[in-house]
Amino acid sequence: MRRPFARPWTGVLATAAAATVLPLASPVPAAADSVIVGGSPVQVSDSPWVVALSSRDRFGGTRSGQFCGGVVTGRTTVLTAAHCMSDDVLGLPMNRVKDLTVIAGRGDLGTSEGREIPVREVRINPEYDAYSNSGDVAALTLAEALPEGYVLPMAGEGDPAYKAGTEAAVYGWGDTTGAGDYARTLHAARVRVLSDAVCEEAYPGNADGTYQAETMLCAGEMEGRRDACQGDSGGPLVAQGRLIGLVSWGSGCGRPGSPGVYTRISAVAKVMRARA
């Protein structure tokens, strides 16, 4: 099954845009040792550029309304996945979600630490393709500026951080088991950047999806285990202190041979910056 979208919320939300998403023939659940899957709790003060996207209206208040991740790339700019802004995820056209907020400096979603900043503008990558999930990025403009120290630099074209084998870390408040166990505290998992050949082999264009090296990168461990999962979308993949990817899609979570697929930052930075 092609699984480009976060669909943890379909039980409670209308799926107006579901036309392109087939019902899932329930994929194998992640292995029991899959826990992010395979990660551990981290302090948000050590990674202040990780933010939560929130709407209490749409997702309820228990976990501060968190539904996706994001990353601070400018004092008033947060990047996230374009699919996080879809009707399919929000259950409404995004311009009808009145309380879209970025939460910075809050590791534990059960607290009121940090800051909640309203989103003033959402720009979806004009080259985003919802069917293939190519170019899965949106830029959010914040109503108030964050400190300079929150900003994570982006890795440009040719940056060595994209090389296969590079150690990276993915951050988020998503499902920790693949069974709908959403984290209350920020987690991170160490993963390795995989070669385009390996990613293409994992997603050759069958029902699981198609890997496109120009706009995507994949990371994980071939034996599975450590991975992003539902609810982590839009969150950062960081290597050598720079942003290389955004959580985008995958088949299941932490499954052997099905690495996580990320939006390749070098491929989208130019178009997102050009429109800034």
Q: Which positions are annotated as active-site residues?
A: 83, 136, 233
Residue 208 found at the interface with ligand ARG (CB under 6 A): no
Q: Which residues of 80-94 are buried (b: 16+ CB within 10 A; e: fewer)?
A: bbbbbbbbbbbbbeb
Nearer to ligand ARG, 49 or 262 (CB): 262
Residue 223, CA distances (Å) to 31, 163, 188, 190 in order: 11, 19, 18, 13
Within residues 167-196, the interface with ligand ARG by CB under 6 A covers 174
Shortest reach from residue 261's CB to ligand ARG, in Å: 7
Shortest reach from residue 173's CB to ligand ARG, in Å: 10
Nearer to ligand ARG, 106 or 255 (CB): 255
Q: What CA–CA distance (Å, rounded) separates 138 from 80?
A: 5
**Binder to ligand ARG among 227, 238, 244, 269 (CB under 6 A)?**
227
Residues 119-148: x where in contact with ligand ARG by CB under 6 A, - otherwise, as a string: ------------------------------
- Going by C-alpha positions, the residue among 205, 198, 214 that lies closest to residue 263 is 214
Q: What CA–CA distance (Å, rounded) separates 4 from 21?
A: 8
H or E segment and range at residue 71: strand 66-74
Asked if residue 231 lies in contact with residue 67, where contact means CB atoms within 8 angstroms, the answer is yes
Nearer to ligand ARG, 77 or 133 (CB): 133
Nearer to ligand ARG, 107 or 174 (CB): 174
Q: What CA–CA distance (Å, rounded) separates 276 from 271?
A: 9
- Going by C-alpha positions, the residue among 76, 102, 135 that lies closest to residue 265 is 135
Within residues 5-24, the interface with ligand ARG by CB under 6 A covers 5-6
**Cα 246–Cα 109–Cα 145 angle in degrees, nearest 5:** 60
# residues near ligand ARG by CB under 6 A: 15
Residues 229-268: x where in contact with ligand ARG by CB under 6 A, - otherwise, as a string: xxxxx-------------x-xx--x------x--------
Shortest reach from residue 233's CB to ligand ARG, in Å: 3
Applying CB under 6 A, the span of 16-24, 114-122, 205-213, 225-233 interacting with ligand ARG comes to: 225-233
Residue 129, classified by CB atoms within 10 Å of its CB into exposed (0-12), middle (13-18) or buried (19+), is: middle
Shortest reach from residue 71's CB to ligand ARG, in Å: 14
Residue 228 found at the interface with ligand ARG (CB under 6 A): yes
Name beta bridge partners: 142: 119
Q: Helix (H, G, I), strand (E, B), or coil: what is residue 171?
A: strand
Shortest reach from residue 223's CB to ligand ARG, in Å: 14
Shortest reach from residue 213's CB to ligand ARG, in Å: 17
Binding residues (CB under 6 A) for ligand ARG: these are 5-6, 174, 227-233, 247, 249-250, 253, 260
